[in-house]
Amino acid sequence: MASDKKLIIANWKMNLDMHEASLYLHKLSKMVKVHRDTEVVLAPTSLTLQSLSLQVNLKQFKLAAQNFYWRDSGTYTGEISATQLRGVVQYALVGHSERRHIFNESDKDVRNKVAAAIRNNIRPVLCIGETAWEHANNETKDVIHDQLAGGLANITGEELEKVVIAYEPVWAISAGLGSTPVSVSLDDVKLAFNAVRNQIKHLYGQKASESIQVLYGGSVTGDSVADYLSLPGVNGLLVGWASLNANTFNEILEKAHKSALADKKE
């Protein structure tokens, strides 16, 4: 079974240099309270991963790669493999919409990366979600169906236990860059989460569909944390720009902890 923990992942994208990343980690580790009901993961750039892995207290935070290549080694200039990331990170984002849409990653690339992460003992966070056009044309369910079927092809039920899914509507990612964040309606999120769990049920059965961890991402701010986490089946959040400031991110973590406490009381 997936744990009841809220999983909160900070995706720093191509922001924060080595010095800034180290200062951020120092600052956040001083103020963060470790709660057993919340798992916190930081996804810095590849350049800073190794030094942060030496600095991080794994009881406070886990680390994630934002990307990697699926072969374990070889003549792939400029790439980093999951084998090389083994021991440095505990998680890795796979198929983030910026990788799919800016760098043309296909479902085949995504599926190879999911498998590579698993064989290297790294939990893949499989990112899926529809574009604005697909949303406007009521294609959300189809996109979720295709991206899950494509990304999870050849993954066994046992391997699926290591996989986290992040549903992120592409039209809501970094929309407004902090000034006017897009808020996705809770009904839209519910519909998408139902589609995700139905597809997992279809592929792997009822038990797997209930236990897989599914996160929401897309312009999450401190103000929207409680709303998204209060939805049934939303097990955590993937946070981009709002995670770039340690104070703001810490507020998000505290709100996630409060949501986890509220879940327990129900």
The contact set with ligand PEP (CB under 6 A) reads 11, 168, 173-174, 217-220, 238-242
Q: Which is nearer to ligand PEP, 67 or 259 (CB)?
A: 67
Residue of minimal Cβ distance to ligand PEP: 240
57 secondary structure, DSSP code: -
CA-closest candidate to residue 130, choices 184, 92, 91, 177:
184
135, 173 contact by CB (below 8 A):
no
Closer Cβ to ligand PEP, 95 or 240, answer by number: 240
Please say which residue, 51 or 174, places its beta carbon nearer to ligand PEP. Answer: 174
> Which pairs count as long-range contacts for 243-247, CB under 8 Å and 24+ apart, including other chains?
243/10, 243/11, 243/12, 244/12, 244/15, 244/16, 246/24, 246/27, 246/28, 246/31, 247/31
Nearer to ligand PEP, 11 or 112 (CB): 11
Q: What are phi and psi of 6, to 5 degrees?
A: -80, 130
From the CB of 117, what's the least distance to ligand PEP, in Å?
17
Instruction: Tell me how crowded residue 115 is: count the other CB atoms within 10 A of its CB.
Output: 20
Residue among 82 and 239 whose Cβ is closer to ligand PEP: 239
Least distance (Å) between residue 144 CB and ligand PEP: 16
Distance set, CA 190 to CA 15, 210, 230 (Å)? 31, 15, 11
- Write down the least CB distance from residue 242 to ligand PEP, Å: 6
Do residues 258 and 37 lie in contact, with contact meaning Cβ atoms separated by under 8 Å? no
Give phi and psi for 71, each to the nearest 5: -75, 150
Query: Is the Cβ of residue 10 or residue 32 nearer to ligand PEP in the bound state?
Result: 10
Q: How is residue 237 written in tokens?
A: 């959040």
Catalytic residues: 96, 168
262 near 229, Cβ under 8 Å? no
Closest CB 236 distance from ligand PEP, rounded Å: 12
Instruction: Return left, alpha or beta for 259; rule: phi > 0 is left, psi -120 to 50 is alpha, else beta.
Output: alpha
